[in-house]
Amino acid sequence: MPDQLIYAMEVFLNGLMAGVLYALVALGFVLIYKASGIFNYAQGVMALFSAMTLVGLMEGQVPFSHLINAILGTQVHHFGWHLPAVLGILLTMAVMVALAWLVQVVIFRHLVNQEPIILFMATIGLAYFMEGFGDLMWGSEIKKLDVGLPQGINLWIDETTFNIFDYGFFIDNLDIVATIIAALLVGVLVAFSQYTKQGRAMRAVADDHQAALSVGVSLSFIWVMVWSVAGFVALVAGVMWGTKSGVQFSLSLIALKALPVLMLGGFTSIPGAIVGGLIIGVGEKLFEFAIGPIIGGATENWFAYVLALVFLVFRPQGLFGDKIIERV
Amino acid sequence: MFYREAGDFKTSYQDDNQTFPIKFDRYRYYFVLFVAFAIIPFMINDYWVNAVFLPFLIYTIAAIGLNILTGYCGQVSLGTGGFMAVGAYAVYKLMTLFPEVNVLIHIVLAGVVTAGVGVLFGLPSLRIKGFYLAVATLAAQFFLVWMFNRVPWFYNYSASGQISAPERTFLGEVITGPETEAWAAYLVCLVFVTLSAILARNLTRGSLGRKWMAIRDMDIAAEIIGVNPLGAKLSAFAISSFFVGVSGALFFAVYLGAVEVGEVFGINKSFLVLFMIIIGGLGSIFGSFAGAAFLVLLPVFLKNVLVGGLGWPTDLAAHLEFMIVGGLIIVFLIAEPHGLAQLWRVTKEKLRLWPFPH
């Protein structure tokens, strides 16, 4: 088999893995948009904040240590304990639920019935606020996150492909684990929304707020629940990305990467987020591999957006999104 | 008792249609212009110009541009940084290709080039609306920044990839480059701001502005009553990009002098200008001024108070700044979605009755 084709296959597989990671982030967006019509720009910052909280709790950091030291002149940094990963994740989940409740009570209850663009801009404000708050609370240096996920090259695939193609594919263990976790997560979320009472209530709220209210669904409870689930998805995404490249500011930029995924898949569809993520992941990597060297490289910055843009011109609602019907 | 229309009779259509019909408003406007043009240049120094006045004036032009697109025409755009970069690189290429022509003409031409690019990236707005358009403009942002980094013709094949403004003079006075006097840079920007504001105010008061607002409020209904959506949206993109391009050109040529496109014109710039128009007030020219002033002065104020006054480290001040800006956006959106401009309008309404309660 020609060399370029073998390399292309490797790039394709890596693209699929990258796509899964994008889809993980996009899932959080879809959940919140489905249930409350809010496009949550702060999802990426939520992933960063949850990862920072997890590291902080596991390492026993003192929250706001920098601020306390500046005001009081002390030198406290750590409590001295080290939590196991599972306990850290549970505590972080509790923090994310509290955050969801706060966001609901402080911000979105006052913005009910506003236009979508106002809600979007409120989430941009929330993203900036949470970024500053997270940095203030846990410090802005790069942190290493280690919850026990396997990392490094998968040796089994390396050897097998070497035997077949004479060239060992480099597939990271972490990516495989991320794929499995994402599949599980999607399965759990779909099962939750289809087969449980709360999931049904969530779908009712997504369909029509007022009708759901009249049937007896508590809107604020559903919204807090949805934001908590989105927070959980953000935590998973934050753990994946944080283990890959460290917990740092650039984690919040993955929200920007999830946007073309959403545009492609449609804002209201969970399978759309997955399929969109895979298409963007594969498309990005293949484009960079095939055409990148000709036009200067680093095309991954913008290719996803241009692809989504071109796609939108022909199908404005995305692959699986609800058809946009406008009435006068 | 000062702010009244009583006794002020208009005797011609021109008087009736003027921008500031109330005498107090008119005199206040002339006074502000007088202070800005005739008093401040004599009292200014390098610190004030570089830290406060130049960013304020330049961001005002950008905010006016984005306000026309987002506030008056309803097309959300996150590509402001990219379009400012187009203005900066256009003025750089024009200055280096035609060094004899006056740099002020080059700045206007850079605006025209940016208008063309804006129309190109605005074409999808005919099919895509709302959020989708915001994300589509992100494509413009990232693509333009990438292009200016990768295509060497734009930075004249220099080794560092940076562009720096060559020295240019006007009427014998240096206005670009490191030898510029503070008052000269200030006056150049002030002239551009005044002309931009007058132009924008009159455009938005006229039939084109009404078409934009019709598209913003309900574009299908607007089309039914005869507003051409193609013409209105593309003209909004073109005129908005013209202002943003001029502001980018001034940002590079007069204010910074040297630019590395990735850090200066990145996505943060787009969000900054968007925050300015949200806080200042969507759909208001005064709001562009107010929002730009607010977001330029806030970091300076915070740094002086926290770092200078309390002695806190600068990264704490930076984190607090993020928190305050984000928090203020949310507070404004909840309490006063129409921004500082609405607060100003309400104040004026109350003043018209003062000292009477109603």
ipTM of the complex: 0.83
- Give the H/E segment covering residue B207: helix B207-217
**Which chain B residue shows the shortest CA-CA distance from A125?**
B326
Whether residue A88 has pLDDT greater than 80: yes
Whether residues A67 and B316 touch (CB distance < 8 A) is answered with yes
Of residues A39, A126, A327, nearest to B326 (C-beta): A126
Q: Cα–Cα distance between B73 and A171 in angstroms, integer?
A: 48
Token pair for residue B210? Answer: 């009404």
Which chain A residue has the Cα nearest residue B268? A128
Does any domain span residue B333?
no
Domain residue ranges of chain A, discontinuous segments joined by +: 31-251
Name the closest residue on chain A to residue B319, using Cα atoms.
A132
Residue A209 CA to chain centroid, in angstroms? 26
What pLDDT score was predicted for residue B1?
65
Residue A306 contacts B where some CB pair is shorter than 8 Å: yes
* A223 CB within 8 Å of a chain B CB: no
- pLDDT tens string A188-242: 888 888 889 988 888 888 777 788 889 998 888 888 998 898 899 999 888 888 8
Residues in B closer than 8 angstroms to A107, CB to CB, are: 330, 334
At B34-66, the pLDDT tens digits run 999 999 888 888 888 888 899 999 999 999 999
The answer to whether residues A149 and B333 touch, using CB atoms and an 8 Å cutoff, is: no
Q: Which residues of B touch A301 (CB under 8 A)?
A: 142, 145-146
Joined together, the tokens standing for residue A231 give 């927070």
Distance from CA of B134 to the nearest CA of A (A): 10
**Smallest CA–CA separation between B313 and chain A, in Å?**
8
Total number of domains constituting chain B: 1
**Rounded CA separation A206/A35 (Å):** 4
Output the average pLDDT for chain A.
84
pLDDT at B219: 86
Query: What does the pLDDT read at residue B204?
Result: 94
Name the minimum distance, in Å, from the CA of B12 to any CA of chain A: 40
Domain of residue B90 covers 44-264
The pLDDT of residue A202 is 85
A153 contact B CB<8A: no
Asked whether residue B326 is assigned to any structural domain, the reply reads no
CB A212 within 8 A of CB A205: yes
A140 CB within 8 Å of a chain B CB: yes
Tell me: the pLDDT tens digits for A138-186?
A: 887 888 887 777 777 777 777 777 777 777 777 788 888 888 888 888 8
**With an 8 Å Cβ cutoff, is A128 touching chain B?**
yes
- Nearest-Cα distance to chain B for A127, in Å, is 7
Residue B27 lies in a domain: no
**B16 domain-assigned:** no
In chain B, beta strands by DSSP E = 163-164, 169-170, 173-174, 258-259
Question: Do residues A259 and B135 touch, judged by C-beta distance below 8 A?
Answer: yes
**Helices B54-66 and B80-97 sit at what angle, rounded to 10 degrees?**
120
Flag if B278 and A121 touch (Cβ within 8 Å). yes
Choose among A258, A257, A210: nearest CA to A31: A258
Choose among B81, B73, B87, B84: nearest CA to B133: B73
Cα separations in angstroms, A147 against A88, A240, A280: 9, 10, 28
Angle at B334 between CA A115 and CA B131, to 5 degrees: 30
Examine the pLDDT at A316 and tell me if it is beyond 70: yes
Measured distance CA(A181)–CA(A148) in Å, rounded: 14
Residues 31-60 of A with CB under 8 A from B: 39
Whether B138 and A128 lie within 8 Å, measured CB to CB: no
A305 and B143: CB-CB below 8 Å? yes
Which neighbouring-strand residues pair with B169? B174
pLDDT digits (tens, 9 = 90+) for A26-81: 888 888 888 887 888 888 899 899 999 998 888 888 888 888 877 787 777 787 78
Instruction: Give the pLDDT score at B269.
Output: 92
How many beta-carbon pairs below 8 A join chains A and B?
Answer: 143
Q: What share of chain A is helix, strand, coil (3-state, %, to 5)?
A: 75, 0, 25
How many CB atoms neighbour CB A240 within 10 A?
25
Whether residue B290 lies inside any domain: the answer is: no
Which residues make beta-bridge pairs with A247?
A143
Cβ atoms of A91 and A99 within 8 Å: the answer is no
Asked if the peptide bond before residue B355 counts as cis, ω within 30 degrees of 0, the response is yes
**Which residues of chain A lie closer than 8 angstroms to B315, CB-CB?**
66, 135, 140
pLDDT digits (tens, 9 = 90+) for A293-310: 888 777 887 888 888 888
> Residue B15, SS3?
helix
pLDDT tens for chain B, 358 residues: list them: 677 777 888 899 988 888 888 888 889 999 999 999 999 888 888 888 888 899 999 999 999 999 999 999 988 899 999 999 999 999 999 999 998 888 899 999 999 999 999 999 988 888 888 777 887 888 889 999 988 888 888 888 888 878 888 888 888 888 887 778 888 889 999 999 999 999 999 999 999 999 999 999 888 899 999 999 999 999 999 999 999 999 999 999 998 888 888 888 988 899 999 999 988 998 899 999 999 999 999 888 888 887 777 777 778 888 888 898 889 888 888 888 888 999 999 988 888 888 887 7
* Predicted local confidence at residue A314, as pLDDT: 84
How far is Cα A41 from Cα A245, in angstroms, rounded to an integer? 22
Q: In terms of CA atoms, which chain A residue is nearest residue B266?
A: A301
